[in-house]
Amino acid sequence: MKKLIIIGLTIIMFFFKNSAMSNNQKSFYDLEIESINGEIIKLKDYRDKVILIVNTASYCGFTKQYEDLQELWDKYKSKGLIVLGVPSDSFNQEKKNQ
């Protein structure tokens, strides 16, 4: 029974796929985001790079991962890797709130 429901929902989704389409002509590189230090990052400046965007929280217990991200960037920056730290502050874990 569950299998039939899943198959039925999948078929229905194909009929409605166009209703969720966006007419927005912007691309990823048209976006601008605020960096971890408050500067505006224009993604178009990194068009020919590999971009890893990292949701950061300065006072989170997992900030040890910054060391791993630094190591990753050090290893691959010569091949075009860019690591961007972008604060979400979803849980009030950014330095400006402390």
Catalytic site residue 37? no
**Amino acid identity at 53:** I
**Within a 10 A sphere around the Cβ of 25, how many other Cβ atoms?**
6
Options 6, 33, 60, 86, the catalytic residue: 60
The Cα 38–Cα 97 span in angstroms is 13
**What is 24-68 written as a DSSP string?**
----GGG-EEE-TTSPEEEGGGGTTSEEEEEEE-TTSTTTTHHHH
Give the tokens for residue 6: 């899943």
Q: Which residues are catalytic?
A: 60
